[in-house]
Structure 1
């Protein structure tokens, strides 16, 4: 049974999410701020976090940054803010998805399921991806250990970033549009799709693996089409 940690200072929202998640068969833990969330993470295995941004003591942005220092657990940000920059900030801190309040609980459940399905990591249909390791110049992707090194140095990727890189590297030369990337990586066929979500993760991934992110060696943009890694 997967364990979900719900972090929100609003008890009514925690109660609603608890009910929906429990009805889906998940074990649910709750915290009312970032401090409690960090303490709860130390007490046992948690498979996903639903993390509100605006909270007292320690807000969601700061909590996410601290979590990412030690863990790559999937995080869905929850916030009443709708501004584009707020979404960018949430995803840039390491969150895997972003949902705006007021939200449809069924949509959120779909996103939770998509993130949990992702934890198994899908393998590419490309023959190269059948091997446990993919090497592209100085980039090495170990699928079995879920590790990445660039120029001999280890690179820490979130689960989403790793899956995007694995998808592109496993089908070199193939151009993936953002919709295809979203469906393949998030495993979400519900239609709740944001092009910016994919673009932010691509940008973060480039910052980590590219020597010059503005002149990428690995992840190339095919303007008006999508992204690829050359053969």
Structure 2
């Protein structure tokens, strides 16, 4: 039996990690402004400086980058990244990882904050495409 989760706008979608991964499976590298991410090498660079993310931080970033502008609820992030039930982890865990990741990525004031909060719902990765490798 397939489980379903409710998307931000109320639509039900299958709860499969492959559903989330398959939105842009061919994406292996991403570059926007000063941010460069290589998903295969788990490499993140900002202004030509390597940024050391934890495994969970990188997994959250990869999820958001592969699905730009899509809002991910806290529940969806926990399900995909931790592969656990939402009740086991809290929003605080997601918020802490996002906060730490933002600090690491914001190495100077001119670096954009691509990870946007959607109040009471979750997060999305927002950018205006210019360069996509």
Q: Same fold (TM over 0.5)?
A: yes
Shift of 1:218: 0.8
Higher relative contact order (CA 8 A, sep 6+): 2
Shift of 1:226: 1.3
How is 1:84-103 mapped onto 2 (pairs within 5 angstroms)? none
> Are the counterparts in 1 of residues 68 and 124 from structure 2 also a CA contact under 8 Å?
yes
2:54 aligns with one of 150, 158, 172: 158
Shift of 1:132: 1.8
> Are the counterparts in 2 of residues 147 and 154 from structure 1 also a CA contact under 8 Å?
yes
Partner of 2:68: 172
Partner of 1:217: 113
Query: Residue 195 in 1 paired to residue 99 in 2?
Result: no
Q: TM-score, normalised by structure 2?
A: 0.71
Distance in structure 2 (CA, Å) of the matches to 1:170 and 1:139:
15
Partner of 1:124: 21
Distance in structure 2 (CA, Å) of the matches to 1:171 and 1:189:
21
Shift of 1:191: 3.4
Deviations 1:175-198 (A, max 9, x none): 111111111111113731211111
> Are the counterparts in 2 of residues 206 and 216 from structure 1 also a CA contact under 8 Å?
no
Runs of 5+ unmatched residues, structure 2:
1-19, 128-133
Partner of 2:100: 204
> Are the counterparts in 1 of residues 79 and 86 from structure 2 also a CA contact under 8 Å?
no
**Large movers: runs of 4+ above 4 Å:** none
Deviations 1:57-79 (A, max 9, x none): xxxxxxxxxxxxxxxxxxxxxxx
Q: TM-score, normalised by structure 1?
A: 0.42
Secondary structure of the equivalent of 1:130?
coil
> Are the counterparts in 1 of residues 28 and 38 from structure 2 also a CA contact under 8 Å?
yes
Shift of 1:217: 1.9
How is 1:59-70 mapped onto 2 (pairs within 5 angstroms)? none
Alpha-carbon spacing, 1:189–1:225, altered in 2? closer, same or farther (3 Å): closer
Root-mean-square deviation (Å) = 2.0
Alpha-carbon spacing, 1:143–1:195, altered in 2? closer, same or farther (3 Å): same
Partner of 1:13: none
Partner of 1:228: 124
